[in-house]
Amino acid sequence: MMTPLRSITYLLITCLVLVLLLMSEVNAQSSQYTTIRVLDAETKRGVPLVELKTVNDRIYYTDSNGVVAFYEPGLMNKQVFFHVKSHGYQFPKDGFGYRGTKIQTTPGKTITIQINRVNIAERLYRITGQGIYRDSQLVGLPYPISDDVPGNVMGSDSVLCESFGDYIYWFWGDTNRIKYPLGNFHVTGARSRLVNTGGLDPDKGVEFEYFTRDDGFAKETARLEGEGLTWLDCLMKTYEDDGTNRLFAVFMKVKAPLNVYQRGIAEFNFDEQVWIKRMTFPESQRVIPRGHALRYQDRQDDNVYFYFAGGMPFVRVPAKAEAILSAREYQAYTPLTHSNGNYYRVSRHGSGDLAYRWTTTASVMTDQIASKLIAEKKIAEQEASNSLVDIETGKIIRTQHGSVYYNEWRRRYTLIVSQVRGSSLLGEIWYAESPEPVGPWKYARKIVSHDNYSFYNPKQHPLLNDDGGRTIYFEGTYTNMFSGNESPTPGYNYNQIMYKVDVEDDRLNLPLPVTLARNTSRGTFRWSIGRLRNGYVGVPEFYALERQANGAREISLGSEKVWVATEDGPNRIALFEWTNDSGNTTVRLEGIDAPQGYRRNELKLGYVWKK
């Protein structure tokens, strides 16, 4: 009979043997692979979603550590050529024009290669689905999350999220599962801890706790009455007068193929982890909220609103439950004055500019309406409400869906939005800034690009910011849907991918509106760049840079300092200084005369960007 001490010793030895056996099994497994690591040449971080293809078209994709665990019978212990490519990244060409490299495939060895990033934003990791760190697991490398397919989720569409207590609550659209092609079509949900309450560093990942059924698959959180699928949009967290918080969303009932036949408001029940229908919009509803919600206190009436960034943040509702549940409280910021079926009228100021105002009786100018108005020559292409201008080419960009939030670092609002009908149908992501949610939104720069692939519904994550807003984390849905690409990326397709962008990147130094603003009480004027001071009104004269840039010089406009381009370029126009006999000066754009008695100086001040 064993003594207690001998029993404990025996148990410890047994555990040690099991651990050693497990370690030897892992080492044996990993030793058969060649570990290929692909790093961002700038940041030296592993790059997910890099394709490595052999000359006989065997394809491998890096996991979220930038790792490929390579083992291929007949190709080990040889020099193997791999073509290397990735959306928004580029591998250097060799002497014959091939973008790739030879790798000695020695089992148990690690080979590191670097790839150049063309995107301004940096790809970080896949957020949802199976095998996020698959290859790292195969070769025994560490990874930051459990990666055991939580919720049995294989892929999900379009994210919404909001904080509540110590957690961030996440909701997605249609969701794939492991054991059958048909999954959850009534909203998947999960939660994760906030960074300051035990959540992961957002640079590393997000650890989800899914709301699940008894069999472990993600439960239907929004099984609302009516035929077809249920989708959610416009997540809204309210702060009620009684001190409580509530969580609302716009729901949509959808019939095949993509016919939204009903919209309304649902409220989340945290105890039951389900959405409850609270209101249905009437069929006659003209103002429809779409997109991620921004909480904003209006400078004109001091009311707090939710602004919805579906293309542009041009729909709002007071940020209280009572208003959210009343269809007549939703307002559109629009120049449309009347519509009858497919007939639309637009309103203009005496200057000829479109006359925008808040109204409950007209719809926003959607992309579809704008295209119709352009075709009927009622508006110019650049007057479409969902339009931006590419800072590099001067071409018009039509936006599809995005998110707008106030950025403390930039002290203005930032828009990250997908483009419709760009170099890919829905795979191009743009960055823009504005002093106010309703704009003016004008100049933008592309920060993410895809080759014949979709990446839509980008969502900024201010809840993950921990450096005052200098780093913006954002995610979107990576899918071959709508792209025409019939080759979905294994593991990655129909999943969410996280990026980050540094707003101090010199390429994101974009022109801001410059206004000769009038003080409404004193009648005096002053130049202003960006947001107008309280008590001042005016419309932009042109656009200029707020900070130094290559190819720009500083000029003074009264007490305001701005930077203007030293050379002509897309959508730029010359700016001249004019002087009178008394030494007073003013500025005018080329082609516009100054008041009588002023003479134009021969030398240009520089070039500014057109309004």
Domains and CATH numbers, the chain: 20-119 (2.60.40.1120), 512-609 (no CATH)
Q: What is the pLDDT of residue 421?
A: 87
**Pairing, β 495-502 against β 471-479:** antiparallel
Segments of the chain scoring below 50 in pLDDT: 15, 17-26
Beta bridge partners of 416: 403, 431
CA 418 to CA 406: how far, in whole Å? Answer: 18
79 class by beta-carbon count within 10 Å (0-12 exposed, 13-18 middle, 19+ buried): exposed
Distance CA 320, CA 246 (A): 9
DSSP-based helix, strand, coil % in the chain, nearest 5: 10, 45, 45
Residue 223 is classified by DSSP as: -
**CA distance readout (Å), 174 to 26, 211, 218:** 36, 15, 11
Strand pairing class (229-239; 209-210): unpaired
pLDDT at position 466: 87
Q: Which residues contact 308 (CB under 8 A, 6 or more apart)?
A: 234, 289, 290, 291, 292, 293, 294, 315, 316
- pLDDT of 208 reads 97
Three state DSSP letters for 176-221: EECCCCCCECCCEEEEEECHHHCCCCCCCCCCCEECECCCCCECCC
**Any idea which residue has 């101090």 for tokens?**
504
Exposure on the CB side of residue 557, measured as CA atoms within 13 A: 28
| pTM for the model | 0.93
Instruction: Output the DSSP codes for 547-594.
Output: S--TTEEEEEETTEEEEEESS--TTEEEEEEEE-TTS-EEEEETT-PP
pLDDT in the model for residue 7: 56
One-letter amino acid for residue 48 of the chain:
P
For residue 69, give the amino acid letter.
A
pLDDT score of 18: 47
